[in-house]
Amino acid sequence: MKTEIARWLARDPDPKTRNELQQLIDTHNEAELAERFSGRLAFGTAGLRGIVGAGPNRMNHLVIRETATGLGQYLLATESDAAERGVVIGFDGRPDSKRFAHDTASVLTAQGIKVYMTTHVAPTPMVAFGVKHFGAAAGVVVTASHNPPAYNGFKVYWGNGAQIIPPHDSGIAEKIDLATRQELDLLDLELAKQQGLLYWLSESFYDTYRHALNQSALLSNHTQPESVSIAYTAMHGVGAHMAEALLADAGFTQVYSVAAQREPDGTFPTVNFPNPEEPGAMDMVIAEAKQHGATLACANDPDADRFAVAVRTEAGDYQMLTGDQVGVLLGHYLLTHAEPGQNLVGTTIVSSSLLKQVAKAQQANYFQTLTGFKWLTNVAMQRQSEDSRFLFAYEEALGYTVGSEVWDKDGLSALVAFAQLTAELASQGKTIWDQLESIYREHGLYLNAQRSIALQPGAPSVGEQLRAEPPASIAGRQVMITEDLKTSQRIHADGAVEPIDLPASDVLIYHLDDGSRVVVRPSGTEPKLKCYYEVVELIAHEDTLAHAQQRAADAMADLITHHQESLLG
């Protein structure tokens, strides 16, 4: 390890992280040194993400330069015109993001690769849009999205505008590994500009993205937008300017931004955890909504690729919608408004099955993928045809993509679409709650929940135990179908077996006789088991929604309790 540390100190271009590392050496902090040098931040399908600091297991200038070198070398090796097509680079408002982005540009231009670089902070979906707009070979966003302040990340898009999937992730990782043992070339950005290798993306590019969304037929439903009032927060991220502009373009005149959270600030001073799903993260925007009596309290996460919303109730309070509820509402709305032939929708294996039922009722085409937006958009591109163009996809973790202007989740287009849906309902004297109840009454009330079980380090694989002794029933409900994504088989209770057309993954899905579903997915990075539950409660004509919700909640509690007991027993 001493050799590795000495080599690192010799290569690290940043005096700040060199000093940080030297202090750990001088104070003999062996545990911290071991943690930072025990491995390297793994480059995967989401790129890189980790805590900022010194060492190969942290985000810093040397790791960024090595990563960018590996990315550039992989692009040049696999795409014959990569240098000419170039790479689009953007960054969020975290303290190191701009410098990391400029490092990336210096490395890529030194390899002769053209770079399109945003002049200032940019929403992540805007970079994904830029890749397609410029016909670039790839895109990079320096962002840690909704992670805590100590983190940063390096997210990579391929030339199709979607997040990278195999084999590109492992191919880039191999090149990064080689780069850690090479001299790293850099080109001064002013020189890169003079040599025609660097193009600064100024306000006109931001306006191009804005114009593209405004021109989308799916975001052109201008039904009495002035009747809906919206409280909004960018959560100290990069979304406010574009979100406010798009809402104004769409005719929404009553928009109230949370001033204390409007400007980019990577220290996130008013939230413990800048993720709209976390308790307390929406408190300030809900307070803003109450102050104005707003219809909606909306949020983007700090890089504006996710969207969250709380809706005013009859009592005047605000209740958060789940990602599944927003996904189903948007899916239903878009399917009933899209032009003929634009009818391909999808979601992930752990999201609600309700979108499938809504699609079936609209005679639309539905697809399902592994978790992660990288799968949703790449599969959508493969599945769509002239007769069935892509319309919408979502995942339960607050990610939505509306149409194909952006081939990744986009919290800004989702914000506009949801506001337009709300306005149209209001013009009919209806609320979001009325619409949700209408969908539930037609298709059943689908309730979803997730629980994680901590396992002892080194504990036997739960997945393998379940495969060795497949459960015949769960919580008194018979297992009708077991989907084993590791073996790519769908096994029916009568013994019939069918192939599953999904990439292999250590996931087991149990479909029960009452329509319930249990998904078991071991974590790949820590001793933890993730369990996803779904129960379905039909609502009779004379039934009240409240009674159905209570039955569903009781059924969910029973399912979770008995299933977890069976795993831990």
Q: Give per-residue pLDDT as tens, 170-194.
A: 999 999 999 999 999 999 999 999 9
* Arithmetic mean of pLDDT, 471-488: 95
What pLDDT was estimated at residue 453? 87
Cα–Cα distances (Å) from 557 to 131, 282, 471, 561, in that order, read: 45, 26, 19, 6
What pLDDT, on a 0 to 100 scale, did the predictor assign at position 532? 96
Q: What integer pLDDT is reported at residue 219 of this predicted model?
A: 97
- In the numeric block, which tokens belong to residue 427? 């013009």
At 465, is the pLDDT very low, low, confident or very high (cuts 50, 70, 90)?
confident
Give the span between the Cα atoms of 485 and 505, in whole angstroms. 5
What pLDDT, on a 0 to 100 scale, did the predictor assign at position 460? 72
Q: So what's the pLDDT on residue 569? A: 66
DSSP letter assigned to residue 87 = E
**How is residue 365 written in tokens?**
């085409």
Percent of the chain past pLDDT 90, that is, above it, reads 93
Confidence of residue 519 (pLDDT cuts 50, 70, 90): very high
Percent pLDDT > 70 in the chain is 99
pLDDT band, very low/low/confident/very high, at 568 (cuts 50, 70, 90): confident
Q: Which helix (H) or strand (E) holds 358?
A: helix 354-361
Burial of 361 from C-beta contacts in 10 A (0-12 / 13-18 / 19+): middle
Which residues, 6+ apart, have CB-to-CB distance to 454 below 8 Å? 527, 528
Using CB atoms within 10 Å of the CB of residue 525, give its burial: 0 to 12 exposed, 13 to 18 middle, 19+ buried: exposed
- Provide the pLDDT for residue 531: 95
Question: What mean pLDDT comes out for the span 278-286?
Answer: 95
Mean pLDDT, range 131-150, rounded to an integer? 96
What is the spatial distance between Cα 369 and Cα 380, in angstroms, rounded to a whole number? 9
Average pLDDT of the chain is 95
The 10 Å CB-count burial string (b at 16+, else e) for 23-47 is ebeeeeeeeebeebbeebbebbebb
Q: Clarify whether 145 is annotated catalytic.
A: yes
Residue 525 has pLDDT above 80, yes or no: no
Question: Is it the case that residue 113 has pLDDT exceeding 90?
Answer: yes
pLDDT at res. 528: 82
Q: Which of 38, 80, 97, 145 is catalytic?
A: 145
pLDDT at 455: 80
Question: What's the farthest any 2 CA atoms get from each other in the chain?
Answer: 75
Is residue 564 within 8 Å of 451, Cβ to Cβ? yes
User: Which amino acid is residue 427, in one-letter code?
Assistant: S
- pLDDT tier at 461, thresholds 50, 70, 90: confident
Give the pLDDT score at 280: 93
DSSP structural state of residue 512? E
Sign of the CA dihedral with 261 first, then 213, 312, and 516 last? negative
Q: Are 122 and 167 in contact (CB under 8 A)?
A: no
SS3 for 428-494 is CCCCHHHHHHHHHHHHCEEEEEEEEEECCCCCCCHHHHHHHCCCCEECCEEEEEEEECCCCEEEECC
Using alpha carbons, list the distances in angstroms from residue 107 to 70, 207, 221.
Answer: 10, 28, 44
Q: In terms of Cα–Cα distance, which of 368, 372, 363 is closest to 380?
A: 368
What average pLDDT does the segment 473-479 reach? 95
- When pLDDT is averaged across residues 87-96 and rounded to a whole number, the result is 97
Average pLDDT over residues 360-367: 97
Instruction: With cut-offs at 50, 70 and 90, classify the pLDDT of residue 526.
Output: low
Alpha carbons 492 and 473: distance in angstroms, whole number:
13
| Mean pLDDT, residues 540-546 taken together | 93
* pLDDT score recorded for residue 524: 59
- Residues comprising the chain, all counted: 569
**For 204-362, where are the E strands, in sequence order?**
229-233, 254-257, 296-300, 307-312, 318-320, 342-348
How many CB atoms within 10 Å of residue 229?
18
What is the reported pLDDT for 505? 92
- How far apart CA 507 and CA 251 sit, in angstroms, is 45
Cα Rg of the chain (Å, integer): 24
Q: Determine the pLDDT at residue 567.
A: 85
